[in-house]
Amino acid sequence: MSVSLNLDSRTLVTRIADRLREQIIAGELEPGARIRQDEYAEAFGVSRTPLREAFRLLDAEGWITTRPRSGVEVSRFSPAEVQDIITMRLLLEPLAIRVSAVTHTSEESAALRTLHERWQADRSRWQSQTEEYNAVNQEFHFALYGLKPGADPDPVYAGLRGYWERYTRYRRVYWHSADSMSRSSDEHAALLDAWLARDADRAEVVLAQHILHAGRSLVRSLAGDEPPAFSPQLIELAKRYDWPLS
């Protein structure tokens, strides 16, 4: 196993956790994969103490599962977990876009227009460039929410980023049809229009329905041939935004 770290000013524990999280999101560590402390301590060139602290952090975030006498493994996909993540996104992201819709600057407007134009120009090739698609999709959403790359987020934004990244892990595996990407692009245009118009009410509703639309498809994919059972929390939020889950 080859692991490399770009050293910076962050703590050792945070850097280790970030690298492991990146490997899980990218699919380099698959659901159920065992993470052996001795192998990773050697790969990172650290003692087991910071590695165990990084494991505790990732366990608390839901990325890995620590089992007594069984070790550490990458968390398996769970229909219940993905619905919890969608629920939390619906509680955090509509609030974030409401604030950003009425507080963004003219420079931020111009930057987001440019990003969206790049998205639309490359629309035909997203199906074969899923990694780039995921990166641009995240960049677009975070710009809508006022999240700045490299900035220290407040607790709301920190939580938002965490749930977004956990959701991306599911979407990377289960949701990359050409139709879903095309629909997402159309919904992004509607989001941008509302945001540029500083229409916080419309931006909130369009975003919530955007999340619900994609989330419903993902939950159905996880359910396979069985009809999905949606959580009471998700059902109530869908009612709030007039979006049918059935």
Read off the CATH number of the domain in which 48 is found: 1.10.10.10
Of 101, 92, 90, give the one whose Cα is nearest residue 208.
Answer: 90
Please check whether residue 246 lies inside any domain of the structure.
no
Residue 138 lies in a domain: yes
Written as one string, the DSSP assignment of 50-107 is HHHHHHHHHHHHTSEEEETTTEEEEPPP-HHHHHHHHHHHHHHHHHHHHHHHHH--HH
Q: Which helix or strand (DSSP H or E) is residue 4 part of? A: none
Q: Kindly report, residue by residue over 107-119, the tens digit of the pLDDT.
A: 999 999 998 988 7
- Domain of 127, CATH number, reads 1.20.120.530
- Same-domain pairing of 136 and 160: yes
User: Cα separation of 98 and 86, whole Å?
Assistant: 18
Does 152 fall in a domain? yes
Task: List pLDDT tens digits, range 174-196.
Answer: 655 556 667 888 899 999 999 99
In a domain, 38, yes or no: yes
Q: What is the pLDDT of residue 1?
A: 45
Q: Are residues 173 and 195 part of one domain?
A: yes
Domain carrying residue 20: 12-74
How confident is the model over 129-144, as a mean pLDDT? Answer: 82
**Statement to judge: residues 68 and 85 lie in one domain:** no
**Do 46 and 154 lie in a common domain?**
no
Evaluate whether residue 7 is within a structural domain.
no
3-state helix, strand, coil in the chain (%, to 5): 70, 5, 25
Tokens representing residue 173 in the block: 């595996």
**Residues 25, 107: one domain?**
no
Is residue 87 in some structural domain?
yes
pLDDT given at position 152:
61
- Please provide the DSSP assignment of 137-172 as one string: HHHHHHHHTTPPTT----HHHHHHHHHHHHHHHHHH
> What's the domain count of the chain?
2
Domain annotation covers residue 245: no
149 compared with 80, residue with greater pLDDT? 80
Q: What's the confidence (pLDDT) of residue 6?
A: 43
